[in-house]
Amino acid sequence: MALEDICGFKNSPLHRKLSPASCFEDTATFLHMNDNSGTLLNFFMPSFLSSAAFTCRSLAKPSLTVRRPFNLSHGTTTLGFIFQGGVIAAADTRASAGGLVACPFVHKISPIHSHLVVTSSGSGADCMLWERILRREIRLYQLRHSRCLSICGTAKLLSFMLHPFKGTDVCVALTLCGWDKELIYVCSDGARLQGDIFSVGSGSPYAYGILDGSLRWSLSNEEAISLAREAVFRATHRDAYSGNHVDLFHITAQGWKRIFNCKLLEDLIHQILW
């Protein structure tokens, strides 16, 4: 594994002891090691099946795909745009499964590191899994090279990892919003698009209608935040699969800042109607 390479564990005697050549080699024995002071340390290692045997068995008998008894429609509203004050990422908080509101308080914007967040749309389980994988890979890159991977490099890495799943049931659409003012959309077929404005999900046509009419490069921070709130609110008003509250992040050179308030929609409704 990658962490083994970083720590130098792969070529150590302990690694060879824990990775027997035979698939069913018995390793239930005491492992003797000496610490720096010369004290003898004894570790009891239980028997286990090596990963090679497990991999061979998995390839020999591929698992069957279980079909759902009925299709569950998914919906969401996420958006991101660039302006002179940084990058704005916003999303609703409703997780839907067909006509069911599965959860009204879901975080569809996830921080990856101090200057990068991703908005997610698609299957909730798939999105959470790939966000964890991406966060792990970025952390390993930082450990290897003592610096963070660029936003473009992160998008390319994610695209390469997702491309083998093209044509499968994996449903992931992530928008990378980071500094230095980068906005890149990556989906589960490996497509990678870069732009100044993206909205993804079933409510995106309604959000685009608000953004296209009011988005300007010269927006102030307050105007940009208000525009993102209104775009998500309008989408949740028309799209049955989006709703509840607005989750919003502002990314600048100092890092990301979360702007979240459970009363955002109520305040906005009062502002528009009165």
Catalytic residues: 76
Task: Give residue 35's pLDDT.
Answer: 47
Q: For residues 91 and 245, what is the distance between their CA atoms, to the nearest angstrom?
A: 8
Cβ-defined contacts of 44-52 (< 8 Å, 24+): 45/17, 45/18, 49/23, 49/24, 50/19, 50/20, 50/22, 50/23, 50/24, 50/25, 51/19, 52/23
β-partners of residue 174 are: 120, 186
Instruction: Find which of 21-30, 32-41, 44-53, 121-130 is predicted with most confidence, using mean pLDDT.
Output: 121-130
Task: Give residue 271's pLDDT.
Answer: 61
Q: How confident is the model at residue 3 (pLDDT cuts 50, 70, 90)?
A: low
Count up the domains in the chain and report the number.
1
- Please provide residue 215's backbone torsions phi and psi, each rounded to the nearest 5 degrees: -75, 130
Task: Give residue 269's pLDDT.
Answer: 61
Q: Is residue 62 in a domain?
A: no
Q: Note down the domain range covering 241.
A: 78-273
CATH of the domain at 267: 3.60.20.10
Which of 46-50, 92-96, 135-139, 210-214 bottoms out in mean pLDDT, i.e. has the lowest? Answer: 46-50
Q: Is residue 54 in a domain?
A: no
Task: Give residue 114's pLDDT.
Answer: 93
Q: Is residue 226 in a domain?
A: yes
Task: Give residue 243's pLDDT.
Answer: 87
Which is higher by pLDDT, 144 or 41?
Answer: 144
Q: How confident is the model at residue 47 (pLDDT cuts 50, 70, 90)?
A: very low
Q: How confident is the model at residue 120 (pLDDT cuts 50, 70, 90)?
A: very high
Residue 51's contacts (CB-CB under 8 Å, 6 or more residues apart) are 19
Q: Is residue 269 in a domain?
A: yes
Whether the predicted pLDDT of 58 surpasses 80:
no
Whether the predicted pLDDT of 39 surpasses 50:
yes
Which of 40-44, 161-165, 262-266 bottoms out in mean pLDDT, i.e. has the lowest? Answer: 40-44
Whether the predicted pLDDT of 97 surpasses 90:
no
Q: What is the mean pLDDT of residues 50-73?
A: 52
Q: Is residue 134 in a domain?
A: yes
Site of tokens 């003797």: 32
Task: Give residue 128's pLDDT.
Answer: 93
**Amino acid symbol at 168:** T
Q: For residues 19 and 1, what is the distance between their CA atoms, to the nearest angstrom?
A: 13
Q: Is residue 127 in a domain?
A: yes
Reported pTM: 0.72
Q: How confident is the model at residue 13 (pLDDT cuts 50, 70, 90)?
A: low
Whether the predicted pLDDT of 82 surpasses 70:
yes
Q: Is residue 70 in a domain?
A: no
